[in-house]
Amino acid sequence: MPVIRTPAIVCTVRKHGEHGAVARLFTPEHGLQAGYVQGGRSTAMRPVLMPANLVTAELRSRSPDQLASLTVELSTSRAPYYAEPLAAAAFEWVTLLTATVAPDDQPFPRLYAALAALLELVCVAPSARWWARAMVQYEALLLAELGFGMDLERCAVTGEREDLAYVSPRTGRAVSLHAAGVYAEKLLLLPPFMTSDAEPDWGQLLQGFALTGHFIERQFFAERRADPLAARGMMIDRLKRMVA
């Protein structure tokens, strides 16, 4: 009977049967894993099985085709931060995105490390502006790790590395300011922080979300239900209200 014992991030939880739950966890060495938690809807387990929580998980299955039996021990709780609507929206979106688009059983250690760091930053950052940048970067990394990365190193037209200001919505390749010409209005804006260490303002952060959002919707949700995007919309709406 295969057994996996691993640290994990709780991504999604759904009811299963009268008292149980199926949780999808993101792990550093085994990627996305799903398992059945007996009594997962109990008063004791609900605070443990919250998206964004860090847990120690043990998965047991009799065959690769069988849903694993899952037990979890809480390592780090994000429950107190759910009282903050913006933090709660960030948790919901990024864990749901990961659980929806990452393939099962494939390790993505860079993505796991980035997600763990992002969730911690949402909790400890003095301002949402600190973690909003990390959220955009996580979305861009997820696209890259799953084979849909943008090419932001040089201009697709001239090959130059300077004055990159736009991204082609079709190819995901950068375009310089002067090379865009009359086509600028048809291109996506490339905020400077996406290619440098520049500190973004709120307007540039929203440009970053528009950029990654275009490719997330196109690559992951064009041919499937786009319900998870509602969670992203809620997070961005709350960010906009905060800075209005």
For 16, how many CA atoms within 13 A lie in the half-sphere containing its CB? 18
> Which of 37, 5, 9 is CA-nearest to residue 21?
37
Give this prediction's pTM. 0.95
Burial group, residue 191, by CB count within 10 angstroms (0-12, 13-18, 19+) = buried
Q: In 88-238, at which residue ranges do the beta strands (DSSP E only) sit?
A: 164-167, 174-176, 188-189
Strand partners, 68: 35
Burial group, residue 96, by CB count within 10 angstroms (0-12, 13-18, 19+) = buried
SS3 188: strand
Rounded-to-integer distance, Cα 142 and Cα 106, Å: 13
- Rg of the chain over Cα atoms, rounded to whole angstroms, equals 19
pLDDT at 1 over 60: no
pLDDT at 244 over 80: no
> Which of 104, 116, 219 is CA-nearest to residue 171?
219
Query: What tens digit of pLDDT does each residue of 37-52 get?
Result: 999 989 999 999 999 9
Query: What tens digit of pLDDT does each residue of 138-190 get?
Result: 999 999 999 999 999 999 999 999 999 999 999 999 999 999 999 999 999 99
Rounded-to-integer distance, Cα 106 and Cα 223, Å: 22
Q: Which helix (H) or strand (E) holds 25?
A: strand 20-27
For 192, how many CA atoms within 13 A lie in the half-sphere containing its CB? 9
CA 121, distance to chain mean position in Å, is 13
Percentage of the chain beyond pLDDT 90 is 88
The full set of domains in the chain, from first to last, is: 3-77 (2.40.50.140), 81-152+190-243 (1.20.1440)
Taking every pair of Cα atoms in the chain, the longest distance, rounded to a whole number of angstroms, is 63
